[in-house]
Structure 1
Amino acid sequence: MSQLKRHFLFLLCSTRRLGNSEQLAYCAAHPLPPGTEQQWMHLLDFPLPDFVDVRHSGPFQPPIGNAQHLLEATLNATDLVLVAPLYWYSLPAPAKLYLDHWSAWLRTPSLNFRERMQGKTLWAITVSSGERTEAQPLEDSLTLTANYLQMRWGGILFGTGSRPNDIQLDAPALLRARSFFAVSEETVPAAEISSGEEASRIFK
């Protein structure tokens, strides 16, 4: 991983703009080494059609429009960062829909999606008004996703906030953000760690 030029894709998944999770993501991205490629995409700017499961009735068609743009950005990244506030202990609807479309991309033979996702690192940055433990279902979901595609799980950066700009008052989260991606050289395949072990390594 250290020998590969890094290209971060930050996918902003909130249903509002400049929310607390997005602000925390900017803080985490700021210390990245000079020359590190960054691409920022807000899913509100790339609305996806409803996912329709046609596995048992016909082949999936190659993605077009916004789906194609998101697919290309996903495949071009070495590091995929889902920036998502915690909604009902899980991902916001735009993020879940984006991941649902992975099911189609996995089954479109010409894409070789599974093979091209292997070795990438998946990260999450999330803010919630609740306790850190309430984000465990979101973390578990993404850890399993990384494991399934033989990606690396980088970890979750969690902050506390509810009202606009509350994250600016969470000094510990802002401090963690400064070194969040610095652990990237130590990331290992998700299958080799538990989410609890990863969380303890990142937050200690």
Structure 2
Amino acid sequence: MKKILLFNSSTHDPSNSAILAKLVLKGLDYQDINLNNVQIGDVQDFRFASSWPRQDDDYYRISEQLQAADVIVLATPVYWYGVAATLKRFIDRWSESLKVDDNFRAAMQGKQIVLVIVGGDNPIVKGQPIVEQFNYICEFLGMELLTSVIGEANRPNTIQNDSHALSQAEAANTMLKKLCQ
């Protein structure tokens, strides 16, 4: 059985992106990590230094969980045409892991990523740069972007009004269930 990890990066509870991600994961066993409930500091760029000082935060524990997962669902609202700062901060710290953890790159290879994004300003079009960004991230680390589910919602609990996003979530759920058999 594949280990599935959901990273929720919205500050709303419940958020439209988390609601949509949970539809993608309906009926599957997964662990939910809300990035707003953990402390992850900003990346400190020591790539060219002889050592990288360890920060006193939750990143290392979460990174271990990330490396142990097979399927990673990243759920984010669209904030100013990009991902939420909490998700960006978490991914930025992967630079640190690449430098200090000899296993990180190998552990990330082959991971399967599902991207769930929700925005209020034509996200199907304006969210494409986010999808492309994750294509590049996946390519760089040898991961696979399985699918992206893009929803349009602005006010809390309105993702249910986006029938296209709900259909995408259902299709992604079917794909994941087959993958995890």
1:95 aligns with 2:90: no
Partner of 2:14: 18
Shift of 1:177: 1.1
Partner of 2:68: 76
- What does 1:126-141 correspond to in 2, within 5 Å? 126-131=117-122, 132-141=124-133
Q: 2:151 aligns with which of 154, 159, 162?
A: 159
Contact in 1 for aligned 2:117/2:149 (Cα 8 Å): yes
Out of 55-64 and 12-21, give the one that drifted further.
55-64
The one-letter code matched in structure 2 to 1:113 is F
* Distance in 2 (alpha carbons) for counterparts of 1:60 and 1:16: 33
Number of residue pairs matched by the alignment: 178
* Distance in 2 (alpha carbons) for counterparts of 1:121 and 1:159: 20
Q: 2:112 aligns with which of 104, 121, 125?
A: 121
Partner of 1:196: none
* Distance in 1 (alpha carbons) for counterparts of 2:112 and 2:52: 26
Partner of 2:26: 30
Contact in 1 for aligned 2:41/2:55 (Cα 8 Å): no
Identity rate of aligned residues, in percent? 28
Relative to the length of structure 1, the TM-score reads 0.81
Residue by residue over 1:77-125, the C-alpha shift from the partner in whole angstroms, topping out at 9 and shown as x without a partner, is 101111001112211100100001000001114x410011100111110
Contact in 1 for aligned 2:26/2:173 (Cα 8 Å): no
Q: 1:41 aligns with which of 24, 28, 33?
A: 33
- What does 1:174-193 correspond to in 2, within 5 Å? 174-184=166-176
The one-letter code matched in structure 2 to 1:24 is L
Relative to the length of structure 2, the TM-score reads 0.90
Shift of 1:12: 0.4
- What does 1:43-62 correspond to in 2, within 5 Å? 43-61=35-53
Alpha-carbon distance change, 62 to 70 in structure 1, aligned in 2, over 3 angstroms? same
Residue by residue over 1:126-175, the C-alpha shift from the partner in whole angstroms, topping out at 9 and shown as x without a partner, is 11112201001110111100000111111210111000011011122112
Contact in 2 for aligned 1:61/1:108 (Cα 8 Å): no
* Distance in 1 (alpha carbons) for counterparts of 2:166 and 2:176: 18
CA RMSD of aligned residues (A): 1.9
Shift of 1:16: 2.3
Partner of 1:197: none
Residue by residue over 1:15-50, the C-alpha shift from the partner in whole angstroms, topping out at 9 and shown as x without a partner, is 222111011111111143xxxx31100001112112
Unmatched tracts of structure 2, length 5 or more = none
